[in-house]
Structure 1
Amino acid sequence: MAIIPTIEDVVAGQKSYTPFTLSFYDLTVYGVTCPLLWKVSRHELLKLYNRNISAEHLDIGVGSGYLLSKCTMPSANQRITLLDMNPHCLSHVSRRLSRYRISTAQGNVLEPFPLPERSHGSAALNLMLHCVPGDFAHKGVAFDHAAACVRPGGKIFGSTVLSQGVPVTKAARLALDRLNAGRDFNNRHDNLHDLRHELSARFSTFTLTVHGCTALFEATVE
C-alpha cells in the first residue's frame, strides 16, 4: 500500500535549509555524509552531471548548487533553471551560479512544475528524492513532472539514498534513523527494487548503479 504524505510532511524537511546551514552544506554533504556514510564520492556525482547535463538544464531540489558549480558545462551560453520549494536555496544557488543564465521557480516535486513542457534538454534530481515524503509508489511522480519539462532524447538523472536493498553500514543506519525521525529524510521505505520499478514504468532506456547505499540513475526521455 502506498504511503501518502501530509502537507506537513512535504514542508518539514525544507525548514533545515537556511542561509546559515547552506554555508556548511558543501562540507557536510559532499565532504562527510556522502563519502563516509552513504559511500558515494563527489567525483562519482560530478561524473554523473558531466555525462548528462545539457545546454538547457533544469535542476530540481538544488541544495547548495555544488555540483552545478563544479561540473563541466556543455555550452558557453549555458542556461540553467533552478526549481525548489525553499527560497533560501534558490537565492543561494542563483548567486553562486551568476556567471550563467539563471532562472528560478518555486515548486513541489509532487505537483506539476510551473514550467513550459519540453523546454529543457536535461533535468537532475540529485540527492533529493530521499527527502520527499511517501514511498516510491507516491514520490515516483517526480519523474513524470521532470520528464514533462525535457525534450525527447533528453536526460533525466540524479541520485538518492536508499534504506533497503543496498548495503547500509551500521553508522549509515544510525544516521538514517536520526534523519528520518527529524523528517529531514523520508526514506525509511525506499528500496532499490521499487526505484527500478518506477524508472522502468516510465523509461525504456535507463541505467541504475549503486555506490554504498546511494543509487545513481540516468534515463532517456522518449
Structure 2
Amino acid sequence: MNAPTPSTHAGQAIYTRRNLALYDTVVLRLSNRWVWRCPTAKLRADYQRHVAAAHLDVGVGTGYFLDQCRFPVPKPRLALFDLNPEALAHAAGRIERYAPRAEQVDVLAPIEVDTQPFGSIAMNYLLHCLPGPIPDKAAAFDHLMPYLAPGGVLFGATILAQGVRPSAAATQLMAFYNERGIFDNADDSLIDLRDALEARFDDVRIVVTGCVARFAVRQRRQPARRAS
C-alpha cells in the first residue's frame, strides 16, 4: 500500500462493515433518486457503456456496479483500489467470481502498484469524498493516468455543490456530510471539474444530472514536442 495522506482518512472512515451493509439502500436506492436527483440506473448505465475487459475500480463502495454490469468478456481482469480495507473486502467478496485484485491505495499519493494498464477506470462517487478543492483533488487523475491504456476511458461521477442546482434536501445533506468530514465538496464546482479534466484529456464529456456530474474522458494528452 502507498502511505496514506492524513487528510484522506475522514472521507473513507465512514465505510465500516455496518455502514457498508446499509450503503446500497441509503445511497443507491434513496439518496441518489430523492436527494441528489441522479437515479442509480444512470450510473449503472455508465458502467455498462464504458466498462472494458480489463477494468480498474477506484473508490469501490460496495461493489454494486461491478456486480450488476455485464462485462464484454466472460473472465474480465479486474482490480480494486481503495484506501478503506473494509470496503475492499466487501467489494472483493461480492464479485469474487471474477477473482479481482484488491489494493489498498491512497489516490492522492503516488501509486506504486505493478500491473498492466486497464481499458477502463471508474471513479464513482470518489472525488467529493477527497479533501481540498478540485484542483488539488485532480492529483488523483495524474496518479491514475499511467494505469489507463491508450484509447481507454476513465469515467465516474461526483456530487457538486457549485454550478449545479441542488435541492433543499441536497444542500442540507451536503452541509451535514461536510461538517463531519464525510464529504469535502462545499467548493466543488462544475467549472473546476471541467478545467481539471480538459487540462489532462482531449476528449472530455460531462453530463449533469441533478447535482451529480457524470464524466467520461479519453486520450491522455501528450507533451508538445519542441522544435529542433
Q: TM-score, normalised by structure 1?
A: 0.94
Matched, 1:59 2:63: no
Structure-2 change in CA distance of 1:151 and 1:7 (3 Å): closer
- The residue number in structure 2 matching 1:202 is 200
**5+ long unaligned stretches in structure 1:** 1-5
> What is the rounded CA distance, in whole Å, between the counterparts of 1:220 and 1:15 in structure 2?
31
Contact 2:78 2:98 in 1 (8 A): yes
Deviation at 1:20, TM superposition (A): 1.1
Contact 1:118 1:148 in 2 (8 A): no
Q: Secondary structure at the match of 1:59?
A: strand
Deviation at 1:118, TM superposition (A): 5.2
> What is the rounded CA distance, in whole Å, between the counterparts of 1:157 and 1:42 in structure 2?
15
> What is the rounded CA distance, in whole Å, between the counterparts of 2:101 and 2:90 in structure 1?
13
Q: Secondary structure at the match of 2:174?
A: helix
Contact 1:162 1:190 in 2 (8 A): yes
User: What do residues 115-136 of structure 1 show as CA deviations (whole Å, max 9, x unaligned)?
Assistant: 2365211111001100000001
- The residue number in structure 1 matching 2:88 is 90
- The residue number in structure 1 matching 2:14 is 16
> What is the rounded CA distance, in whole Å, between the counterparts of 1:13 and 1:140 in structure 2?
16
What does residue range 1-222 of structure 1 map to in structure 2 within 5 Å? 7-116=5-114, 119-222=117-220
Letter of the aligned partner of 1:36 in structure 2? W
> What is the rounded CA distance, in whole Å, between the counterparts of 2:111 and 2:30 in structure 1?
32
Cα RMSD (Å): 1.3
Letter of the aligned partner of 1:32 in structure 2? L
Contact 1:146 1:156 in 2 (8 A): no
Which protein has the larger Cα radius of gyration, Structure 1 or Structure 2?
Answer: 2
User: What do residues 158-196 of structure 1 show as CA deviations (whole Å, max 9, x unaligned)?
Assistant: 000000000111110000000000000000110000000
Contact 2:5 2:106 in 1 (8 A): no
Letter of the aligned partner of 1:21 in structure 2? N
- The residue number in structure 2 matching 1:3 is none
Letter of the aligned partner of 1:35 in structure 2? R
User: What do residues 55-104 of structure 1 show as CA deviations (whole Å, max 9, x unaligned)?
Assistant: 11000010101111111111111111000000001110111001103101
Contact 2:5 2:109 in 1 (8 A): no
Tell me the number of residue pairs that the alignment of Structure 1 and Structure 2 aligns: 217
Deviation at 1:143, TM superposition (A): 1.2
Contact 1:123 1:156 in 2 (8 A): yes
208-217 or 64-73: bigger deviation = 64-73
Q: Secondary structure at the match of 2:216?
A: strand
Q: Secondary structure at the match of 2:217?
A: strand
> What is the rounded CA distance, in whole Å, between the counterparts of 1:213 and 1:138 in structure 2?
21
Letter of the aligned partner of 1:81 in structure 2? A
Deviation at 1:14, TM superposition (A): 1.8
